Amino acid sequence: MPPVELRHLRYFVAVAELLNFTKAAQRLRVAQPALSRQIRDLEAELSVPLLERGPRAAKLTEAGAVFLGEARALLQRADEAVKLARAVARGERGEIHVGYAPSLTTELLPCALHSFHNAAPGVHVKLHDLSSEEMLRGLGEARLHLGLMARPSERALRGLKFELLREYPIGVALPPRHRLARGKTVALPQIADEPLVVYSRGEYPEYHAMLTELFAKSGRTPRLAEEHDSAPSLIAAAEIGRGLVIAPACLGILAGGRLKFLPLHPPPPRIQLVAVFDPQRLTEAAGKFLAAARIAEINPPVTNSRPRHRPQ
């Protein structure tokens, strides 16, 4: 005997509601003999009579009346499961995991989240504050859908793809009372002998590659005083005089009045904020979030912070 299937429940509910096999067959658009056979198969599988057949109408047994309520509930849950699965496939429901670099995304992320919520209010975004290396691992292991980070090297991508979202000039963040704070720009030779507080090398290799390239052009080696694993730690260390910070302009926005940000002159190549993803695993919802990040680039939020540096 075949196990109970959803069609058995749908057939039974139709008969139980109409108490007439002919009318139920018409509603279901099936032949009456086939409907009767399905109900008999259901009763045989349950080893319980559900209906009392009469010449003109049917009547629910006591067990059939109880089974009717449970059958309706099961069908409703099945319908809800189908609707939910379809909504998730369309990117309208579910959850996505997004890794992000706090300092680089301080402008873009709030606007992207707002735009995404308007486009997909049923999708929950779980944010993960991670280093570049952690994001790349998370994407490679399918624990993340997207990573918002400084552009990694082609070797580090390991088959992942990226999309450019924004660019920031590189400068120096220093305490407002520092001797160089009165200027409008800083030349690299002016800070060549200054101690620097930097991101940790193990978690931010691209940052250290940028520093090495930057100082190599002047024939100097940077003085690395301390390594930190987050932007707030760098800001705090610079604020108390542990060293200067070479970073993109968005760090100055994050620091507010605690530090002064001065562009480097001549300006080095800009830091690129990119969205990294696996194109084979980019779900509909994650694709909508990426689209929201693009909108954030086209229509940046209005803030009271310092003027925005636009990509060139």
Pairing outcome for strands 123-129 and 195-199: unpaired
Tell the residue number behind the tokens 């005089």, with chain if given.
241
What tokens appear for 44 in the block? 């045989």
pLDDT at position 2, please?
58
How many other C-beta atoms can be found within 10 angstroms of the C-beta atom of residue 37?
Answer: 12
Peptide bond into 222 cis (omega under 30): no
Contact status, residue 175 vs residue 197, Cβ threshold 8 Å? no
pLDDT at position 270, please?
93
Between CA 238 and CA 235 the distance in angstroms is 5
Total residue length of the chain: 312
Contact status, residue 173 vs residue 199, Cβ threshold 8 Å? no
pLDDT at position 297, please?
55
Residue in 217, 308, 306, 234 with CA at minimum distance from that of residue 269: 217
Pairing outcome for strands 146-150 and 271-277: antiparallel
* Helix H or strand E encompassing 227: strand 223-228
Contact status, residue 100 vs residue 132, Cβ threshold 8 Å? no
pLDDT at position 308, please?
39
Give pLDDT tens digits along the chain (312 positions).
457 788 889 998 999 999 999 898 999 999 999 999 999 989 888 999 999 988 778 899 999 899 999 999 998 998 888 877 887 777 777 899 999 998 899 999 999 999 999 989 999 999 999 988 999 999 999 999 999 999 998 888 988 999 999 999 999 999 999 999 999 999 999 998 899 999 998 888 888 888 988 888 778 888 999 999 888 999 999 999 999 999 999 998 889 899 999 999 999 999 999 999 999 999 999 999 999 999 875 544 433 334 333 333
pLDDT at position 298, please?
53
Give the chain's domains with CATH numbers.
Answer: 6-89 (1.10.10.10), 94-167+272-298 (3.40.190.10), 170-269 (3.40.190.10)
How many other C-beta atoms can be found within 10 angstroms of the C-beta atom of residue 86?
Answer: 11
What tokens appear for 135 in the block? 């994001």
Letter string b/e over residues 4-35, b meaning 16 or more CB atoms within 10 A of that residue's CB: eeeebbebbbbbbebbbbeebbeebeeeeeeb
